Structure 1
Amino acid sequence: MSQADSLIETLKRQLRAQGKTYADVARWLGLSEASVKRLFAEKHFTLARLECICDQLNLEFVELVQTMQAGEQRLQELTQAQEQSIVDDRELFLVAVCVINGYSFDEIHHQYQLSELECTRQLLKLERLQLIELLPGNRIRRRLAANFRWRVNGPIQRFFQQYIANEFFRSRFDSDSEKLVVLNGLLSPAGNAEWQQTMQRLAKEFHSLCERESGLPIHQRFGTTSVLAVRQWQYGLFQDYKREAEAKS
C-alpha cells in the first residue's frame, strides 16, 4: 500500500471514529456525495481538500500523518537469522546500509559497482525482510521504526566490532571532520545510568539531524560515524595492580 493510500485509509478511520459520513464530507467540500465517494475510491485528493476535512474533524494535517505512521507496522529489529543472512551476503549488506542511510536507487547504482538488475535483486531481498517497500520507478520506502537498531551482540554488531572498529580508530582524529573525546571519571551506578540516558538523547539528536538533511543532494553529504560508549572497565594493563579483595568482588 502506498503512502497516499495509507493516508486516505487513515482519514476514513478518523471519519468513522467521529461518526461522520460521505454526506458530511460532501457538504464540507461543496461537492455531491457521489463525487466524494469517487474521490475516496480513486484516492485522489488535493492537499486543500484534505486540509478542509481535517479542519472539520478538528485535526491538524500533521496529526493525520502521524496517526497513519503510528498505525503502520514498522520494523524495530531483525531476527538473528535475518541479520546473519545480511552479513553472509556482502552486496546485500552494502545495499542495506545504503538504504538505512537514505540512498535512492540511482545513488546506490551510480556510487557502487552494482548493475541495475543486481541492485533491484538486493532491494527485493530487503523488501522480503520488511526493511523497505520497493515502489514503482524503483523508489524506496523505508519501513523502519524510529528506534530501529541492530541486535545487541547480533551478527551485524559483531561484524562491525570485529572488522570495523580497528579501522575506525586507525586515525589521528585531527582533521576538521574528525573528533575524538575520551572522558574518564568516577561515577556511581546512578550516575552511570544518567550518563547513558544522555548518550541516548545524543543518539536521537544524531538521527534527527540525519533526517533533516536527508533532502540534500547526496554529493553534499558524506558517511559519518559517531561512537558513543561507556562501561565499567579498567585497562588490562592495570589488572595486576588490583588488590586481591577488589579482584574477588
Structure 2
Amino acid sequence: MNEFKIQQLKSVIKDLLKKKKMTYEDVANELNCSVPTVKRILGDEELTLSRLLELCDILEVNLTDLETLTKTTSDKVERFTEEQQIFLAKNKNFLAYLVHLFDETPEQIAEKYKLTQKSTDKYLLGLEKNNLIKVNAKLKVKPAFKQLPSLENGPLAKAYYEGFIQNSANFFIQNISERLYSPNDGKETPKGFSVQNIVVTEESYKAFITENLKSFESFIKLASYEEKSKPKEQLKSAVVLQAFTIVEQDYKGLEILTKALGEIINI
C-alpha cells in the first residue's frame, strides 16, 4: 500500500474518531497500548494490516467502508482557511516559498535563492505555525495539501492577482515596450501589442475565448516538445501576456483606454 493511500486511510480514521468523540486515550485502552503509540500509528509510523483491522473493529466499520470513505474524502476540495489566506496575503514571500515546497526541498530552495539558515528557519516556522506545512518523524517537510488550493476570491486572491498583474505590466514596460519602438533591422522576430474595445455579442465573445484557448494550448504543447527535443542554443523564451474581459457598453472604466495617448483637456 503506497504512502499516499495510507495517509488517506489515517485521515478517514481520525475523522471517524472525532465523530464518535473518541480520544487517543480511548483508542489506547482498546488497543492495550500507550497514547504515544497511538499517535505514532496515526502519524508517520507504518500502518500494518493487523493494526488497521483492530482500528476497524473499534470504529465498527470494515475495510470496504474505509475504502468508500477514502474515495469520498479524496474528492473533497482543499481550501486555505481564512486565517491562512490573511497570513499569506500579508506575507507573499511565504506563499512563494510554499509553492516551491510542492516540488523542492528546503535545502534546494535555500541553494537556489541563496537563503541563510536563519531565513529558512523563519519560513518553515511561519508556515508550520499557520498549519501550511507538515514535518514528519524523519524531519521531512511537505505542504499540508496534496496540491496548491485555489486562491478563490478572498484576500489572498486579491493580493496575489494584483501583484501578478502589476509585475507583468512592469515586465512589459521594462522589456517589451522598448522593442516595440526600437528600429527594426529586418531580422527581428514578430512582436506587437494591442488593446481593442470590440463591440460584440456575448456569444461571439465566448466563442473567441474558446478558440483562443485551444490555440494557446496547442502552442504550449509544441513548446513542451521543443524544450525537450531542440538544442538549447535554438531556444528562446516567448513571453505571452493575455487578458480578456467583457463589460457593459456604458462601463465607466472604458475611459481608461481612451486616455492611453493622453487626455484632451482645456489648455
| TM-score bucket (shorter structure) | 0.3 to 0.5
TM-score (norm 1): 0.48
